[in-house]
Amino acid sequence: MRPDRSVAVVAGREDTDREDVLDVLRCRQTVIDALCSRGFSAFPIDITRDDFSRSRGVARKILSASPSCVFNLFEGFSDASWLEIRFADILQSLGIPFTGNRSETLALCLDKDLARRTLGQAGLPVAPGRCVLPDYGPDVAEGLLFPLFVKPRMEDSSVGIDSRSVVDSPEELFRLLDERLASFPDGLIVEEFLEGREFNAGFLGSYPYELMAVSSIDFNFGQGVRPFLGYDSKWEHESSDYKNSVSIAEEGIDPKLRKEIVRISREAGKIMGCRGYFRVDLREHRGRLFVLEVNPNPDINTDSGFAKQSARRGYGYAETAVRLVRIAMNGRPLYEEKSSREGIRVPASGGKDGCLLEA
């Protein structure tokens, strides 16, 4: 076995029944199977909470396996998603090649307030909105048009997004803010809900990136239901939200609109410093495209939208996994432009902020 074919496929291990966390473990096995089918020696490594509590516990576990590359599927834990940043930072300090994005990009994308301000200051369109912290005042919705959309500031995988996330009045908003801030004290994002079609674009590599495909979301929620992707629509396979929201690659998209989706998405990835693989989510509202999110670690399981996009590009699942390893080990230098981030500060609120500032 060539020494450059030893790949540790790393994921978090915890006692939980949350579907998004369990899906990572399922994804890890499919990645291992895919890499082994192409001649790699791929093996799992579990990262636990105890590893972070012990001095150099994470580093020792990785180094003891002597991998030539880490296939990084670690996304923190169910109540500590920010540890994905700390883990990537440890890999960087060890100098071990790893798939996906660096800690700086993970930190920038995880903090949705920082992300939307970074994109906005760079000239990309984002929905009007603001970050709301536990000490918010009565003017929290001033200047914003209802309906409003409420989501946790520092979570991913659509955690904290459900059918109640869209509110139509100040009274609804205040009730929801008080309830959700108790669960998400690091803040919430409140922004205008954008009616319109939803799209996403998946990419591989370094800027200017290789486009996998542009997808649209086909919502079939019925009359009077505002369509958006919440937790159930992404992870609860038996829910009506999951069954009635389908990602469709490269169908029914006007060529001019598609070109603009790709342009904005590439620019968003560049601004956030993305590499390896990522996805950009957008909405078309009244003839304009708005960036909803830059996702630096989208689901890449066999049934994921990203896998469908890669297949549309002509890459089988095993080939996509191999390409991610090769990008990590032989990729071009990372795109870095710190000037776009100058003058941006993270609101001081919870324990996660320190990790973001240090990353």
In this predicted structure, what is the pLDDT of residue 335?
Answer: 32
Q: Which residues contact 9 (CB under 8 A, 6 or more apart)?
A: 28, 31, 32, 35, 42, 43, 44, 45, 70, 71, 73
- Determine what percent of the chain is predicted with pLDDT higher than 70: 91
Q: Kindly state the average pLDDT of the residues 78-87.
A: 94
Report the DSSP beta bridge partners of residue 200.
215, 281
% helix / strand / coil in the chain, to the nearest 5?
40, 20, 40
DSSP character string of 32-45: HHHHHHTT-EEEEE
The Cβ-side half-sphere exposure at 47, using a 13 Å CA radius, reads 33
pLDDT digits (tens, 9 = 90+) for 168-223: 999 999 999 999 999 999 999 999 999 999 999 999 999 999 999 999 999 988 77
- Three-state SS at 99: coil
What average pLDDT is seen over the chain?
A: 91
The tokens describing 276, both together, are: 């390896």
**Pairing status of strand 277-285 against strand 288-295:** antiparallel
Residue 3 in this model has a pLDDT that exceeds 60: no
Structural domains of the chain ordered from first start: 3-99 (3.40.50.20), 198-341 (3.30.470.20)
pLDDT digits (tens, 9 = 90+) for 269-307: 999 999 999 999 999 999 999 999 999 999 999 999 999
pLDDT digits (tens, 9 = 90+) for 27-77: 999 999 999 999 999 999 999 999 999 999 999 999 999 999 999 999 999
pLDDT digits (tens, 9 = 90+) for 5-34: 899 999 999 998 889 889 999 999 999 999
Listed range (150-164, 196-210, 342-356) with the worst mean pLDDT: 342-356
